[in-house]
Structure 1
């Protein structure tokens, strides 16, 4: 069996998104305000679920990144979180375009970068988990140890 090198777990844009999402979810819940596009395009229970999901996904994703135990468990938690993050931010982008039409395209395009990045990261994690399961060297992966690749 060769050396197994896993892609660095600390992706700065992913971490920034995961730190921001629970803050947004908590503010939406605490202030009891919602973007008009969400109010108009989603039924009330879906709106509340969307807000709660923002909190859970952000905290869950950070937990997966910082998981002190087995690497595969942390990657699995992170994978679930980024998949749901991609889904719920994609919902928002679609809601924005559905309500605002052409006026919302620019904002929705920027927001759509979050699901694109989330699904990209999910694919990376899936490859990492596959390599871990097979226990062989994957040359496209690297593990950052002590800041050195």
Structure 2
């Protein structure tokens, strides 16, 4: 097996998006000022879940990136966060398009890019976790001189 290459976990766009998510979710929860598209397209429990999801994915994603322990654990936490972040972003895109149609093309394009980027990062992390698992299976213990393993 060749070199084990794990993609950098300090990707500035991902970190910025994950850092902003709990700020947005927290402000939405505290101020109660939901976007019209969200109010019209989602039932209230889903709206609250969407806002809480923003807080949780931001905090969870940053925790995964900064995880001080095992690399696989941090990557797993980050993976879960970016998958949910992509889903939440996609929910917002759908709400925008359903309620506002073509008038929401610009906003929907940005939230779609966030969803696609999140899911792309999730695929990268899944590949890295697979490589890490394969590398851990390839580690062989060399016998001591004249000894048996």
* TM-score, normalised relative to structure 2: 0.89
| Alpha-carbon separation, structure 2, partners of 1:10 and 1:74 | 12
1:124, distance to aligned residue in structure 2 (A): 0.4
2:59 corresponds to 1:88: no
For structure 2, the 5+ residue unaligned runs are 137-149
* TM-score, normalised relative to structure 1: 0.89
SS at match of 1:5: coil
Q: Which of 1 and 2 has greater Rg? A: 2
For structure 1, the 5+ residue unaligned runs are 137-149
RMSD across aligned C-alpha pairs, in angstroms? 1.0
Deviation beyond 3 Å, 4+ runs, structure 1: none
Aligned to 2:3: 3
1:59, distance to aligned residue in structure 2 (A): 0.2
Aligned to 1:42: 42
1:5, distance to aligned residue in structure 2 (A): 2.1
SS at match of 1:4: coil
Aligned to 2:108: 108
SS at match of 2:55: helix
Higher relative contact order (CA 8 A, sep 6+): 1
1:2, distance to aligned residue in structure 2 (A): 4.2
SS at match of 1:73: helix
